[in-house]
Amino acid sequence: MKHLKYTAAALALLAGPALAQDTMVIGVSIPAATHGWAGGMNFHAQQAIDRLEEVYPELDFVLATASDPAKQVSDIEDMVATRGISALVVLPFESEPLTGPVASVADQGVWITVVDRGLSQEGIEDLYVAGDNPGFGRVSGEYMVDMMPDGGDIVVLRGIPTTIDNERVEGFEAAIEGSGINVLGMEHGNWNRDDSFTVMQDFLSRYPEIDAVWASDDDMAVGVLAAIEAAGREDIQFVLGGAGMKEMIQRVADGDSMVPADVTYPPAMIATAIEMTAVGMTSSTPVSGEMIIGSVLVTQENADGYYFPDSPF
Amino acid sequence: MSTTTEQRAPGRARPWMDLRVLGPIIALIVLIVVGALMNPNFLSYANITNVLARSAFIGIIAVGMTFVITAGGLDLSVGSMAAFIAGLMIMVMNAALPGLGGGLAVILLGIVAALVAGLAAGWINGFLITTMRIEAFIVTLGTMGIYRSLVTWLADGGTLSLDFGLRTALQPLYYGGLFGVSWPIITFAVVAIIGEIVMRRTAFGRYCAAIGSNDTVARYSSVNVGRIRLLTYVGLGLLVGVATIMYVPRLGSASAATGVLWELEAIAAVIIGGTMLKGGFGRVWGSVVGVLILGLIGNILNLTDAVSPYLNGAIQGVIIVLAVILQREGKAGT
């Protein structure tokens, strides 16, 4: 009799992991760290997962980074098939290709949190966490107006041609409208240091007098600043980047006159999304809906609060 | 489309009428004229030196790529390799800074590290292709992914930055020069001239063409095919190292975004210049012209508002194809 009991216990033990219903798996699918901002986003995703695994023993996380949309679709399919995820936090590489696959995951009853880049069909996700792209442009434009109340000539470097970039530029243009600020030229620096170095060199050849530069991104600001320095031009008063790269925040904090401010577009928004999803899975706290993380102007006064020395970005 | 007749211009065509030779030069001249008409600053000293200096990275790599392609090979890994070597050079210099001080010793160490890394990376490609007999396309596709991942990993997904003081010490390598000509331009010129001489005047250059044309015949003619092929990849690796030495001082940083698509730009430049993609014939000066064409297109598009920036890639594509069509017409006539 005793023997039988032991066998049953052993069987139960063996079957245990497979039957355990209380462990829930949250899948996190994000683009690989191919540029600075994505690197910071990867860092914050990993940090959030490490922290939440401690806080919620009943949660298990699976993180996958994809270098293209097709790989991301495969990652998500694998998560559903092999890990039986109960929730998916996804930052789509591109909206269009990911919409169908994410929708079919949602149909299986999985909680969907979409981050930053919206899907092209509405109503699929349960929670949407995103940065404020029009706001990012608006805050940048308002800062330009504040800095140059009498107007001035500026050049603009744009990112990779995407909706994100368009929304930012539209927000910026709306903010500077009627202020006397004149945009001499706009070119795509593709959120890349080398490209923006080249574009800025050519802007400097083309325009003998430039008052300020909206680099619209901190990686691009690095390239722009190097080009200005190499050309030895004194006419440019300042360069406004964006996103909150730690080196740039550092320069803002140090009172560098060429980098007087920065506008945030925090890569840590992925942590917000994972955290809210975890809260939603483990409690009855309602977390569905939309959460827009505002873009904040960082100046010397508040720069310390936006400096993350451990982040790669 | 025969490769063997390619080297000899058809007897009836007078040499100065040969479109295959003139094609890229005509394209270059047209671009210069268009640029000068569109913007008065185009021909300014500052703009010309900007374009030449920024073309130097791809240019130096394209010279090495000319030999690889002439010998019937291909190297897709050079862009990733440049990013990896740049990352390595920055890490070596940052690590050596406390021990050696911020002077010449650290800079020399960085230069040696870049050259050694380039040689080693080129040798690995060449070894896998010649000794292990794996397709060049597959080997270098593999190493392309490997180096790109390695630099992302070294940088922890972010950016590797040179120590600020070191950056100031290193900057003359890109921004400084002799008699108002900056080092990247001088290096590019020296590499191109040496490359042209090696291709035209040495046994090595002739062996490359022979192997690319028909490696079996070359082997029967007692050419050490494996060794020559290996040397083309090692040489290219070394030149990637040289290009990186000039790249690092420019922005003092390397990241996963460094050198993206450099391999395709280098290959495009080589082909625009008149080298046969399937090997057997190579023209180093043509590759130089090809690089300048690519550099000027980007520059002109930045200097004018005539074209929507969304169309930049399309314009580049059209000009690349046109430059190659100009050469092919000469052949269609033969």
The shortest CB-CB distance from A205 to any of B44, B255, B256 is to B44
Q: Give the dihedral sign, CA B72/B324/B185/B58.
A: negative
Q: Is residue B234 very low, low, confident or very high in pLDDT (cuts 50, 70, 90)? A: very high
Alpha-helix residue ranges (DSSP H) falling in A240-290 = 246-253, 269-282
Q: Is residue B19 very low, low, confident or very high in pLDDT (cuts 50, 70, 90)? A: low
DSSP secondary structure string for all residues of A9-52: HHHHHHHHHHH--S-EEEEEEEE-S-SHHHHHHHHHHHHHHHHH
The residues of chain A scoring below 70 in pLDDT are 1-22
Size of interface A-B (CB pairs under 8 A): 97
Residues pairing with B80 in the sheet: none
Separation in Å, CA of B148 to nearest CA in chain A: 9
Q: Tell me the chain A residues in contact with residue B54 when contact means C-beta distances shorter than 8 Å.
A: 197-198, 201
Of all helices (H) and strands (E), which one includes residue A101?
helix A95-107
The answer to whether B247 and B86 have CB atoms below 8 angstroms apart is: yes
Q: Does B312 touch chain A (CB under 8 A)?
A: yes
CATH 3.40.50.2300 domain position(s) in chain A: 2-131+267-294, 133-263
Average of per-residue pLDDT values in chain B: 86
Q: How far is CA A242 from CA A192, A196, A258, in A?
A: 13, 14, 14
Residue A11's pLDDT is what? Answer: 47
Residue B10's pLDDT is what? Answer: 45
The answer to whether A198 contacts B175, with C-beta atoms less than 8 Å apart, is no
The answer to whether A206 contacts B41, with C-beta atoms less than 8 Å apart, is yes
Residue B152's pLDDT is what? Answer: 86
Burial of B67 (0-12, 13-18, 19+ CB in 10 A): buried
Instruction: State the CATH number of the domain containing residue B295.
Output: 1.10.3470
3.30.300.30, 1.10.760.10, 3.40.50.2300, 2.60.120.10: CATH of A133-263: 3.40.50.2300
Q: Does A187 touch chain B (CB under 8 A)?
A: yes
Checking if the pLDDT of B329 tops 60, the result is no
Average pLDDT of span B211-239: 93
What would the two tokens of residue B101 be? 């001080």
Q: Is residue B3 very low, low, confident or very high in pLDDT (cuts 50, 70, 90)? A: very low
Q: Does A183 touch chain B (CB under 8 A)?
A: no
3-class secondary structure, A184: strand
Domain containing residue B205:
16-332
3-class secondary structure, A265: coil
Q: What is the 3-state secondary structure (H, E, C) of chain B?
A: CCCCHHHCCCCCCCHHHCHHHHHHHHHHHHHHHHHHHHCCCCCCHHHHHHHHHHHHHHHHHHHHHHHHHHCCCCCCCHHHHHHHHHHHHHHHHHHHHHHHCCCHHHHHHHHHHHHHHHHHHHHHHHHHHHCCCCCHHHHHHHHHHHHHHHHHHHCCCCEEECCHHHHHHHCHHHHCEECCEEHHHHHHHHHHHHHHHHHHHCHHHHHHHHHHHCHHHHHHCCCCHHHHHHHHHHHHHHHHHHHHHHHHHHHCEEECCCCCCHHHHHHHHHHHCCCCCCCCCCCHHHHHHHHHHHHHHHHHHHHCCCCCHHHHHHHHHHHHHHHHHHHHHHHHCC
3-class secondary structure, A118: coil
Average pLDDT of span B13-21: 58
- Greatest Cα pair distance in chain A: 96
Q: How far apart are the first and last CA of chain A?
A: 64
Asked whether residue B173 is domain-assigned, the answer is yes
Asked whether residue B1 is domain-assigned, the answer is no
Q: Does A38 touch chain B (CB under 8 A)?
A: yes
The answer to whether B255 contacts A193, with C-beta atoms less than 8 Å apart, is yes
Q: Does A39 touch chain B (CB under 8 A)?
A: yes
Cβ neighbours for B288, distance < 8 A, ≥ 6 positions apart: B59, B62, B63, B188, B192, B273
Q: Is residue B2 very low, low, confident or very high in pLDDT (cuts 50, 70, 90)? A: very low
Checking if the pLDDT of B118 tops 90, the result is yes
- DSSP-derived letter for residue A305 is G
- Of the residues A47, A163, A194, the best mutation for testing chain B's interface (the one with the most B CB atoms within 10 Å of its CB) is A194
Among all residues of chain A, which has the CA nearest to that of B167?
A226
The answer to whether A183 and A240 have CB atoms below 8 angstroms apart is: no
Can you tell me the distance from the alpha carbon of B308 to that of A77, in angstroms, rounded to the nearest whole number? 39
Q: Does B45 touch chain A (CB under 8 A)?
A: no
Q: Does A197 touch chain B (CB under 8 A)?
A: yes
Question: What backbone phi and psi angles, to 5 degrees, belong to A249?
Answer: -60, -40
Residue A238's pLDDT is what? Answer: 94
Q: Cα angle vertex B38, ends B31, B44, to 5°? A: 80
Residue B13's pLDDT is what? Answer: 46
Residue B8's pLDDT is what? Answer: 46
How confident is the model over B51-92, as pLDDT tens digits?
A: 999 899 999 999 999 999 999 999 999 999 999 999 999 999
| AA identity, residue A71 | K
Hey, how many other C-beta atoms are within 10 angstroms of the C-beta on B16? 7
Residue B302's pLDDT is what? Answer: 82
Checking if the pLDDT of B6 tops 70, the result is no
Burial of A17 (0-12, 13-18, 19+ CB in 10 A): exposed
Q: Does B257 touch chain A (CB under 8 A)?
A: yes
How confident is the model over A204-240, as pLDDT tens digits?
A: 988 999 999 999 999 899 999 999 998 889 999 999 9
Q: What is the residue whose two structure tokens read 């046994």?
A: B203
Separation in Å, CA of A144 to nearest CA in chain B: 23
Burial of A301 (0-12, 13-18, 19+ CB in 10 A): exposed
Can you tell me the distance from the alpha carbon of A136 to that of A263, in angstroms, rounded to the nearest whole number? 7
Q: How many domains is chain B built from?
A: 1
Question: What backbone phi and psi angles, to 5 degrees, belong to A123?
Answer: 85, 5
Cα-only R_g, chain B: 20
ipTM of this model? Answer: 0.71
Residue B18's pLDDT is what? Answer: 64
Residue B7's pLDDT is what? Answer: 46
Checking if the pLDDT of B228 tops 90, the result is yes
Residue B328's pLDDT is what? Answer: 67
Strand-pair category, A152-158 with B159-161: unpaired
Q: Does A151 touch chain B (CB under 8 A)?
A: no
Q: Does B302 touch chain A (CB under 8 A)?
A: yes
- Greatest Cα pair distance in chain B: 67
CB < 8 Å from A in window 259-288 of B: 260
Q: Does B316 touch chain A (CB under 8 A)?
A: no
Strand-pair category, B181-182 with B177-178: antiparallel
Checking if the pLDDT of B325 tops 90, the result is no
Among all residues of chain B, which has the CA nearest to that of A40?
B158
Burial readout B203-226 (b: 16 or more C-beta within 10 A, e: otherwise):
eebebbbbbbbbbeebeeeebebb
The shortest CB-CB distance from B152 to any of A33, A40, A187 is to A33
Q: Tell me the chain A residues in contact with residue B299 when contact means C-beta distances shorter than 8 Å.
A: 202
Can you tell me the distance from the alpha carbon of B209 to that of B193, in angstroms, rounded to the nearest whole number? 18
The shortest CB-CB distance from A192 to any of B54, B257, B310 is to B257
Q: Does A313 touch chain B (CB under 8 A)?
A: yes
What would the two tokens of residue A200 be? 């800025």
Residue A304's pLDDT is what? Answer: 86
Supply the CATH classification number for the domain A2-131+267-294: 3.40.50.2300
Asked whether residue B5 is domain-assigned, the answer is no
Average pLDDT of span B99-120: 89
Separation in Å, CA of B215 to nearest CA in chain A: 38
Q: Tell me the chain A residues in contact with residue B44 when contact means C-beta distances shorter than 8 Å.
A: 205
Residues pairing with A65 in the sheet: A30
The shortest CB-CB distance from A33 to any of B50, B157, B312 is to B157
How confident is the model over B170-201, as pLDDT tens digits?
A: 888 888 888 888 899 999 999 999 999 999 99
Q: What is the residue whose two structure tokens read 């406390």?
A: B98
Residues pairing with A28 in the sheet: A63, A89
Cα-only R_g, chain A: 23
